Amino acid sequence: MQLLHRDERCQRLAALPGVGPLTATAVVAAVGNARDFKSRRELAAYLGLVPRHRASGGRTVMLGISKRGDSYLQTLLVHGARAAMRNLERRRDPRSVWADRLKMRRGTNIATVALANKNARVIWVLLTRGDKYCAALHPAPIPRRA
C-alpha cells in the first residue's frame, strides 16, 4: 500500500475502473514504464488477454484467450474487470456503455475479458505517455433494452 501512495504511476493506474491498488502495483512492478512494448496490443498479448487465432487458406478463426502470458496479472485484470462489470448500469461514460452493449450481445464472460483487454491497453497508454485517466461523460443517457 505504501508503494501506491508513493508512486505516481500506481496512482494513475488505480484511477482506472477495474484496476485497484493490488493490480496497479503488480503491473508497475512487472511492466515498469511499458516502453519495452511497442504497442498496446503487444502489452495485452504479453498479459495473455488477446484471442488465439488459426488462419489457413484466407480463413481466420478466432478462439478464446490463451493460457500464455503472465497468469497472475491476467487474473488480476480479469477479476478487476468482473468487479467493474457489476456497476455498468449506474455508469454512463462511453466505456461503460460499450461494455454494457457487449455484455447484452455476447455474454458476461466475453465482455469481462474484453474489458480486461481494454484496461490493459489503457494501462499501456497511461504508463508510456504519463497521462491521467479521466472518463469522459456521455452526453445523454442511453436507454437500455429490456
Please indicate, yes or no, if residue 144 is contained in any of the structural domains: no
Please classify residue 143 by burial: count the beta carbons closer than 10 Å to its beta carbon, then call 0-12 exposed, 13-18 middle and 19+ buried: exposed
Please indicate, yes or no, if residue 142 is contained in any of the structural domains: no
Please indicate, yes or no, if residue 134 is contained in any of the structural domains: no
Distance between CA atoms of residues 108 and 66, nearest Å? 18
pLDDT digits (tens, 9 = 90+) for 116-143: 999 999 999 899 988 888 766 444 444 5
What's the structural domain count of the chain? 1
Q: Give this prediction's pTM.
A: 0.81
Q: What length does the chain have?
A: 146
Cell for 57? 487458406
Please indicate, yes or no, if residue 49 is contained in any of the structural domains: yes
Domain around 31: 2-53+60-129
The DSSP code for 89 is: G
Please indicate, yes or no, if residue 19 is contained in any of the structural domains: yes
pLDDT digits (tens, 9 = 90+) for 25-47: 999 988 888 888 888 888 888 88
